[in-house]
Chains A and B, each alone.
Chain A
Amino acid sequence: MAAHLSSGRVNLTALREAGRRELREFLDKCAGSKAIVWDEYLTGPFGLIAQYSLLKEHEVEKMFTLKPGRLPPADVKNIIFFVRPKLELMDIITDNVLREDRGRSPQRDFHILFVPRRSLLCEQWLKEQGVLGSFIHREQYSLDLIPFDGDLLSMESESAFKECYLESDQTSLYHAAKGLMTLQALYGTIPQIFGKGDCARHVANMMIRMKREFPGSQNSIFPVFDTLLLLDRNVDLLTPLATQLTYEGLIDEIYGIQNTYVKLPPEKFAPKKQGEGGKDLPTEPKKLQLNSAEELYAEIRDKNFNAVGSVLSKKAKIISAAFEERHHAKTVGEIKQFVSQLPHMQAARSSLANHTSIAELIKDITTSEDFFDNLTVEQEFMSGIDTDKVNNYIEDCIAQKHPLIKILRLVCLQSVCNSGLKQKVLDHYKREILQTYGYEHILTLNNLEKAGLLKPQTGGRNNYPTIRKTLRLWMDDVNEQNPNDISYVYSGYAPLSVRLAQLLARPGWRSIEEVLKMLPGPHFEERQQLPTGLQKKRQHGENRVTLVFFLGGVTYAEIAALRFLSQMEDGGTEYVIATTKLINGTTWIKSLMEKLEPAPF
């Protein structure tokens, strides 16, 4: 079920196992049959930890989604609420509890499992509503870092960046530090910590403090990770704004991947049996899980989309040839051999069919004129062309009322690539946006300004060209088919964040001190002492393992770039990636937008 988690350098199954154990222990506290009432947001992340079968083994007989009103009838002893600690959810729970028929027999017991932390505020809220006493167990389930893949962990905390930069609320960083402590408890103390940015500094400080105040955390596990690199999203505001051009990145940009699942328009996924064709095409979206458990997907996910077609066609030939084998199978032994391989071949065929369909869907979009125009403008900005004046294409898009988020992404990209816009240019964009999309968006514009994404240039200095040149963020000769540099993930632009990680590994940050000073926030190094017995003696040629933690979100293209570095023959470093949330430019900007009442039409 979770074999893909152990495929990487660090076996993340252990983390998943720890999560499952904690869940079982809690379930067993509530003796007897149970029903779970789910905060819908949690089902996705939980699904990555446990399947229904695990719950069933522990007497979970029914599951419902949390909603106001009377709880559905279920003949169980326990009702357990799995919720995030949010006040509006407490109101729903209160409603559920108050409507429970007190006369029913046998009575049902209530419990709450807060994910990821118990909240005093929520409990007080319940107390004020007079229902706190109805709950026998009130516990927490620290689902901080959820294993998404063999080399990927996410907290799935959508608003982390917004909370840190707009609301001065660093609770998500506290969770990140907690998650890192858990990780160290399982995989050993990480001897070296590097970081860049304010949030990175905060997390490192919290880790050091937690260690100091909780000496029991000193463990005797041989360290798996050599280095932790904490990167504040604020240090690289540019990368998420650009359109990702890897296969997985494009799937996310266009359809949105959530908790490793994607929903796709069903038309291209024709019914399986020929006889059924045409009659009733499915109208429900096709849902697919995307992770490295699928061999083909693992191979193509991180490729530039332009290199995907040739892999698919090669695969098609191989599979065809494999099926042809059946004609040559003459003896019973050969036939048996063929049949035994059938399941694997069928899986490969179905995987190929799915990805061929997805690639077709994506290609329809990447070959459209608008995608092309949009990308042209992005690439101009990133390579430093015409970033200081009002852009025609952006103006046209506003005039044609393209989605506001698209406009904001482009304008922010231009601002970041120019170290802020000239006041006149900024004012012009703002006016056009407000006049076309409504004055209420002034709140969103203010948020973007506060986050540093959209701002006036101060001091008339544009640092971006220096940063671009020093870090080689724009590469002229990119090879999309057989890449030799991380810039292939954006067809020319090398993500700044990943460049920092790359340069840290070799030759070290001392070589780029000047540029580091131009980027916001401090950069630092900390060492955590290890008992002598645990100090690593590296075998010759053995790769180092670095955990890169993106505070404020990471894109699939950045992940692809890090995986590319891991696989480089003489790279010397393998990367595991952790983040507060998997993001793309659209979801990121959306999280910073002011939620407004929907327009009357």
Chain B
Amino acid sequence: MSRARADEEEYWHSSKFRAFTFDDEDDELSQLKESKRAVNSLRDIVDDDDDDLERVSWSGEPVGSISWSIKETASGSTSSLDGRDSSLQKGSSSYAVLPKQGSSYSLSSLFKGEVCSLERFRSLQDKLVLLDEAVAGHDGNVITAVLIFLKRTLRREILFRELEVRQVALCHLIHFLRETGEQKFLLDLLRFLDRTEEVAVREHLNIQDVEKRREFLKSCIGLPFSAEDTSHIQDHYTLLERQIIIEANDRHLEMAGQSELFRKYPRKASILNMPLVTTLFYSCFYHYTEAEGTFSSPSNLKKTFKIPDKQYVLTALAARAKLRAWGDVDALFTTKNWLGYTKKKAPIGFHRVVEILQRNSAPVQVLQEYVRLVEDVETRLSLATKYKCHDVVIETYRDLKDRIQLIAYKSKVERGSAEDEKINSILNNMQIRWKN
């Protein structure tokens, strides 16, 4: 078990939850090793071609299976099934059924062969009975066939009106229109039903041009979404609006080649259509020092979108660490109280700060400053040991008065190094009352 924190460990064992771990005595890993060893030792005895035995190709297709054979018989056709069949497409289509001939449904006789047999349903009432019957049969193919017939033979207002009270049929028609790409008819239908907001969000994603997309989103704000959704749509719009401004500015800056930052770290892609947190990261990376008044400044984004402190600090930290701006990192966690004393505080916990810094390969001097601030002793020790912050380890053992661990740690540092000296001097310090 790699878990280091003692309290967690204790929690795990004392609580009723079972960890998904392995018994130490009968360690599974050693068992696996054992079976592996056995397997290997058997190799030389029976090392003839057991592929023949299994009749499986390396890629695992049994020789003679259908997908294997497609490859074999397609000679020259380049398609390889292997790379692709992992991307399962949508399963069988919804409108995919025709009752088998002579099958059970009363309606099914109508669908043997041609659609035109529906033409004998003339009156509105007959047509509606037909539709209700189809819906009762749950067969999407039949329902859609009837809907196509009604769509052709009924006036729109009447069709819409009748569908409004037949939700299942309505869903089928919407799905059908979506699949066949009859956008205009679909919009008319949803407008009639007062359900335009539903398509709105979906449709805007298909708009490639950002300006048009922005305009479209703006028009969406007025649609009758729930209060919660309205605020998301509003934010979505505001974000895109910002991104358009920032993108125009920064592209210009980058092209002009005057900004050192952009020269040194050219942008990998445009910021358009990126999520909010990604935008914040971008802004912390390229626009960190800007005043709150500018659209591209991190503080402005934080305020406009009410980004929680935690999220903000995490993002800013990642961005500044990437630039190795350790001063900024330091400032991020420094607070002054009214007496002017400074204090280190991290809303995300310093162990997270350490992780992020480490991921951005911060030097040990920087790292250990934050490791030192980790409150929980066990976590601090394990982080310090993991990242070789010797000073922190040594000081922590000293504070714990743990002589044995300190002596043991001597083997981890270089003989004669400053750390080694430090351990020695602590061990020789007569003032310390060791607990062991």
Chain A interface (Cβ < 8 Å from any Cβ of B): 38, 40-41, 43-44, 46-47, 50-53, 55, 61-65, 67, 72, 84-87, 114-122, 124, 140, 142, 156-160, 163, 167-175, 177, 202, 206, 209-214, 217, 245, 256, 258, 261, 263, 272-274, 282, 284-289, 305-306, 308-310, 312-313, 315-317, 319-320, 323, 326, 342-343, 345-347, 349-350, 352-353, 356-357, 359-360, 363, 366-367, 369, 371-372, 375-376, 379-380, 383, 395-396, 399, 401, 427, 430-432, 434-440, 442-443, 476, 478, 480, 491-492, 581, 587, 594, 596-597, 599-601
Kindly provide the distance from the CB of B149 to the nearest chain A CB, expressed in whole angstroms. 10
CB-defined contacts of A44 to chain B, threshold 8 Å: 67, 85
Query: 5 closest Cβ contacts across the A-B interface?
Result: A287-B60, A171-B140, A309-B28, A52-B69, A158-B91
Main secondary structure of the interface of A (DSSP, over half): helix
CA distance A293 to B58 in the complex (A): 19
**B79 interface residue per 8 A CB criterion:** yes
Do the beta carbons of A434 and B46 come within 8 Å of each other? no
Q: Which segment, of B167-175, B361-369, B396-404, faces chain A?
A: B167-175
Q: Kindly list 16 other residue pairs between chains A and B, CB separation below 8 angstroms, not including A142-B100, A213-B106, A399-B348.
A: A41-B88, A118-B97, A120-B98, A120-B115, A158-B90, A171-B94, A206-B138, A284-B82, A319-B38, A320-B42, A353-B36, A363-B32, A372-B19, A380-B17, A435-B275, A599-B274
**B255 interface residue per 8 A CB criterion:** no
Kindly provide the distance from the CB of A274 to the nearest chain B CB, expressed in whole angstroms. 7
Q: Which segment, of B228-236, B323-331, B408-416, faces chain A?
A: B228-236
Do the beta carbons of B91 and A316 come within 8 Å of each other? no
Chain B interface (Cβ < 8 Å from any Cβ of A): 1-3, 12, 16-22, 26, 28-29, 31-32, 34-39, 41-47, 50-51, 53-54, 56, 58-62, 64-70, 72-77, 79, 81-82, 84-86, 88-98, 100, 103-106, 111, 115, 137-142, 144-145, 148, 167-168, 171-172, 175-176, 179-180, 201-202, 205-206, 228-229, 232-233, 235-236, 239, 268-270, 272-277, 305, 307, 310-311, 314, 348, 352
CA distance A213 to B105 in the complex (A): 6
Do the beta carbons of B140 and A439 come within 8 Å of each other? no
- Could you count the A-B residue pairs with CB atoms below 8 Å apart for me: how many are there? 370
A379-B17 CB under 8 A given contacts A346-B53, A438-B275: yes
CB-defined contacts of A209 to chain B, threshold 8 Å: 104-105
CB-defined contacts of B54 to chain A, threshold 8 Å: 347, 350
A439 is contacted by which of B96, B138, B239 (Cβ under 8 Å)? B239
CB-defined contacts of B74 to chain A, threshold 8 Å: 62-65, 72
CA distance A379 to B11 in the complex (A): 14
B20 is contacted by which of A119, A285, A375, A601 (Cβ under 8 Å)? A375
Kindly provide the distance from the CB of B169 to the nearest chain A CB, expressed in whole angstroms. 9
A363-B28 CB under 8 A given contacts A41-B89, A399-B310: yes
CB-defined contacts of B39 to chain A, threshold 8 Å: 316, 349, 352-353, 356
Kindly provide the distance from the CB of A155 to the nearest chain B CB, expressed in whole angstroms. 8
Q: Please give me the residue from chain B that is nearest to A286 by CB atom.
A: B60
CB-defined contacts of B103 to chain A, threshold 8 Å: 210, 214
A306-B81 CB under 8 A given contacts A63-B66, A316-B34, A372-B19: no
Do the beta carbons of B201 and A442 come within 8 Å of each other? yes
Do the beta carbons of A306 and B20 come within 8 Å of each other? yes
Q: Please give me the residue from chain B that is nearest to A82 by CB atom.
A: B66
Do the beta carbons of B46 and A342 come within 8 Å of each other? yes
Do the beta carbons of B167 and A168 come within 8 Å of each other? yes
CA distance A286 to B32 in the complex (A): 20
Cross-chain pairs A/B with CB under 8 angstroms, 22 sampled: A46-B66, A47-B65, A51-B62, A62-B73, A84-B91, A85-B95, A169-B172, A174-B138, A313-B35, A349-B39, A350-B53, A352-B38, A353-B39, A360-B36, A372-B20, A395-B310, A434-B276, A435-B276, A438-B274, A438-B275, A442-B232, A443-B202
CA distance A201 to B88 in the complex (A): 29
CA distance A53 to B16 in the complex (A): 55
Do the beta carbons of B141 and A117 come within 8 Å of each other? yes
CA distance A38 to B269 in the complex (A): 39
